[in-house]
Amino acid sequence: MKLVIGLGNPGPQYEHTRHNAGFRVVDRFAERQGWKWTERRSRAVIASGMLGNEKVVLAKPITYMNLSGEAVGELVRWYKVQPEDILIICDDLDLPTGKVRLRTRGSSGGQNGLDNIMLHLHTDRIPRLRVGIGRPTNKRMDPKDYVLSVPTDDERILLDAAEERATETIQMVIKQGFATTMNIVNADPEAEQKAAEKRQRQKERQEAARLRREAAQSGLISSE
């Protein structure tokens, strides 16, 4: 069984804010699977179903972001799952808008909801999928105000793409596991392209060297 928890703040006033990226991702995933948010348990709303042979429970804590650990701790005890069977979806200030990153352990990075979850579960070995929202361009803007504000139209396009990729990542994790999914999701496309170009140049140099050797050998044979 997998317990997938999207973090955010309850209430329509927070629905479109940067901080509610986690809620939007699990909402999108539930809609795609045709699962309904019909259950409430342990201070969270629940949608669940089967993905292949795997039971999957989606949850949205209604405790507000900073107290997410209270709901998550109760859910973990209720469903009797281990931390490695959890996936937390949350926003991240330190990740550029539009980027996603998957990790199986590490610090909270200052994300208060994740920090509270780690406090209640007494471990940092909690898989998390972070959706980048970037930092405010106005250096004087309080980060607390920033995360609770609505992104600009341009940012919304990037954030929507990131939330879509995060939605796809949930399914990849469940079907392929964390290790394989991290290799795919965390890959830097530009770095991959540069590496591919480097491999191609090496291949071309090796082929050119082979042709020179053959030409040299051919010259020796004909001269005899």
Same domain, 203 and 107: no
Q: Which tens digits make up the pLDDT trace of 115-160?
A: 999 999 999 999 999 999 999 988 889 999 999 999 999 999 999 9
Residue 29: closest CA among 173, 160, 170, 131: 170
pLDDT on residue 4: 98
Same domain, 159 and 144: yes
Same domain, 183 and 112: yes
Same domain, 63 and 173: yes
Same domain, 40 and 116: yes
Q: Which tens digits make up the pLDDT trace of 180-201?
A: 999 999 986 554 555 556 667 8
Q: Which tens digits make up the pLDDT trace of 67-122?
A: 999 999 999 999 999 989 999 999 999 999 999 999 999 888 889 889 999 999 99
Domain that holds residue 210: 189-224
Q: Would the pLDDT of 21 be above 80?
A: yes
pLDDT on residue 218: 75
pLDDT on residue 202: 81
Active site residue 120: no
pLDDT on residue 214: 84
Same domain, 115 and 151: yes
Same domain, 164 and 211: no
pLDDT on residue 212: 87
Residue 43: closest CA among 72, 18, 66: 72
Q: Would the pLDDT of 47 be above 60?
A: yes
Q: Which residue has the tokens 């629905």?
A: 15
Q: Domain with 169 in it: what CATH number?
A: 3.40.50.1470
Same domain, 153 and 195: no
Same domain, 45 and 60: yes
Same domain, 76 and 25: yes
pLDDT on residue 213: 86
Cα separation of 74 and 84, whole Å?
16
Same domain, 125 and 217: no
Reported as a pLDDT band with limits 50, 70 and 90, residue 32 is: very high
Of 16, 19, 120, 122, which residue is the catalytic one? Answer: 19
pLDDT on residue 196: 57
pLDDT on residue 201: 80
Number of domain units in the chain: 2
Cα separation of 68 and 111, whole Å?
11
Same domain, 40 and 76: yes
